[in-house]
Amino acid sequence: MTPPDTSSAPLAGTPSPKEIKDEHQFSAALEDRLLLGGPNPRSRDFRLLMGVVKDFLNGFRVLHFVGPCVTVFGSARYKETDPYYQLARKMGAAIAGMGFTVMTGGGPGIMEAANRGAKDVRGRSVGCNIKLPTEQKPNPYLDRWVTIRYFFVRKTLLIKYSYGFVIMPGGFGTMDEMFEAMTLIQTHKIRNFPIVLMGCDYWEDLCKFLRKMADHGTISPEDLNLIKVTDSIDEAIAHLEEKAVRQFRLRRALIPRHSVLLGEDGLKH
């Protein structure tokens, strides 16, 4: 039997013209997808590179004068009535009470709660928001914020200005941010800044897995000392005080001077 001629048949999985058009429209709204989608024309890659540079410049310009920060990570999905939202709000107030600026991803949920807590006690509150196809708006409790197009730029900025990290319950994004900070500390790319996981029940299984990593030798036993797990605001603040303020002789008023001639705007509080 002669096999059928398939030379002109479409390949399995070949997208239709409509699917290609929809993909282009989606990618135009989310430039990360273009950047991460394989080789581009040279002109497009150059334009994307300049977009990354612009993101960093905007972030540096907005956040340079916010003072020493503690960044709070956590899910955008928790509502005001959730106990974790209330815990994050108290945590934000306590961090601001130490003299730190509270920094978050600038969105709703845990991020909003931490920023709101800072404002409850008249503390400094900033955010590093992300542009998404379904727009994430900055929460209303921010003194200053910057909106970033690229997730990796946003993550760099959230780490760059921080002397400690508080990890509230969250999902994939929170895991990504937490392990990024831990990896940078482990590899000495940043200093040994404190990491506090709030919510013992929520993080119990993760802590077991981290101990399993140590048992298998994929991390060192001392790497487990990077983390403080607690339900107590007081314990968390004491840990930040010992491992950030005292360890690095941190001056809470360490805020660079801004230049009016350069159009720079300090964060006044």
Report yes or no: 73 and 174 within 8 Å, Cβ to Cβ: yes
pTM of the shown model: 0.85
For residue 246, is pLDDT > 70? yes
pLDDT at site 255 = 63
Buried (b) or exposed (e) across 239-257, using 16+ Cβ within 10 A? bbeebbbeeeebeeeebee
Residue extents of the structural domains in the chain: 17-54, 67-246
What pLDDT digit, counting tens, does each position of 135-173 carry?
678 999 999 999 999 999 999 999 999 999 999 999 999
For residue 29, is pLDDT > 90?
Answer: no
What confidence score (pLDDT) does residue 25 get? Answer: 63
User: Residue 247: what pLDDT?
Assistant: 75
Largest CA distance in the chain: 85
Least confident among 6-15, 19-28, 246-255: 6-15
pLDDT at 37 over 70: yes
pLDDT of residue 18: 77
pLDDT > 70? residue 42? yes
CATH number for the domain formed by residue range(s) 67-246: 3.40.50.450
pLDDT at 115 over 70: yes
- CA–CA gap between residue 256 and residue 266 (Å, rounded): 8
Is the pLDDT at 262 greater than 80, yes or no? no
Instruction: Dump pLDDT digits (tens) for 67-97.
Output: 899 999 999 999 999 999 999 999 999 999 9
Mean pLDDT of 222-232: 93
Tell me the C-alpha distance between 209 and 156, whole Å. 26
Q: Provide the pLDDT for residue 179.
A: 96
